[in-house]
A = this chain, B = another copy of it.
Amino acid sequence: MNQPKMTDVAELAGVSPTTVSRVINRRGYLSEKTINKVEEAMRKLNYRPNTVARQLQSQRTMTIGILVPTVANPFFGELTFKLERYFFNAGFKVLIGNAENDIKKERLYLQQLLARQVDGLVIATHNHQQQIPEYQNANLPIVSVDRYLRSTIPNVSSDNYAGGRLATEELIKRGATHIIHTDSVERFNKRDYLRQQAYQDVMKEYGLEPITYKIDFDSKPALMHQFFNRIFDEHPEADGFFTSNDMDAIQLLQVARQRGVAVPDDIQVIGYDGVPTTTRIVPELSTIVQPLDAMAKTAVSILQKEINGETVTGSHNLPVKLRVSSSLKDKL
């Protein structure tokens, strides 16, 4: 049996399709009697208006595309969750694409989604945007999160510079003097650049020597352990670490434990991200907390404005907080 359509309802109720449409959308004048007849017919047939037909007619899909590296990563899982929540509250559904650090896949998604299947796009992937021409002539509302795309596309991020400063200053205030910063190698990413810049600025202000190590964002655990072991070997004097994300900080804590390096007595550690799921699993982790909820809320509201025809641009940097836990000493 086929799904009933409007004409079926109309026929059963003895009215025209237009009237059925009016009842569904509560538009125009309707008599009580007609409304009842139509609603009963709809109930009898278990009728649901065809979403796609309405989308074609209205020229809006009430759907948003979200592109992230992968929702399996707690940071992007949490971000996606919050975005979905606020979009849902605003009446939008959400199409999710995991770009998997795969430029081909990201481009395929873009090509498909730009073909009017969504009313707007949230981009939070980590691929090199230069290699994705679709962003340059995209004719659709876009907002990027934690990532810079192009000057005309608004961006929502945590205040990476402030975060970098905060982390470094806290380590210093708590007595660390040989502080090492670990960072991703993705140099096209302004985000990492700003955190590193802040770290270096603060170190210089205090007359300390900045040391930055670069590592691939998605390295396997074994490689990460090797990486941190090398740092310990090369810098036995290190007494503070600022890592560019919590996953790295956690692996650092693991290596420290293996080597018998005491936290926070021998080394103090601050990560970056502060996703609730993660800090719940590793409560001892001190970290710079990104305001994910506010970031999601802001991204949704910006995208809604764009969809309504307003022009929005520029960077929207939301304030970070420090989460203090036992990977830090008490302040001096």
- Residues on A close to B: CB < 8 A? 3, 46, 48-53, 55-56, 61, 63, 70-74, 77-78, 80-82, 84-85, 88, 93-98, 100, 105, 111-112, 114-117, 137, 139, 221, 247, 250, 254, 276-278, 280-283
Please give, as numbers and ranges, the residues of chain B lying within 8 Å of A105 by CB-CB distance.
88
- A81's nearest neighbour on chain B, judged by CB, is B72
Please give, as numbers and ranges, the residues of chain B lying within 8 Å of A78 by CB-CB distance.
72
- A50's nearest neighbour on chain B, judged by CB, is B116
Centre residue among A63, A70, A250, A281 by max chain B CB count within 10 A: A281
Rounded to whole Å, the gap between the CB of A273 and the closest CB of chain B is 13
- A115's nearest neighbour on chain B, judged by CB, is B48
Rounded to whole Å, the gap between the CB of A288 and the closest CB of chain B is 18
Centre residue among A71, A97, A280, A282 by max chain B CB count within 10 A: A71
Given A84-B97, A95-B95, A254-B283, verify A116-B72 contact (CB < 8 Å): no
Centre residue among A72, A81, A93, A281 by max chain B CB count within 10 A: A72
CB pair B280 A95 closer than 8 Å:
no
A74 to B55, CA, bound (A): 34
Residue from the list B49, B63, B77, B95 in contact with A115, Cβ < 8 A = B49
Please give, as numbers and ranges, the residues of chain B lying within 8 Å of A247 by CB-CB distance.
280-281
- A62's nearest neighbour on chain B, judged by CB, is B112
Rounded to whole Å, the gap between the CB of A90 and the closest CB of chain B is 13
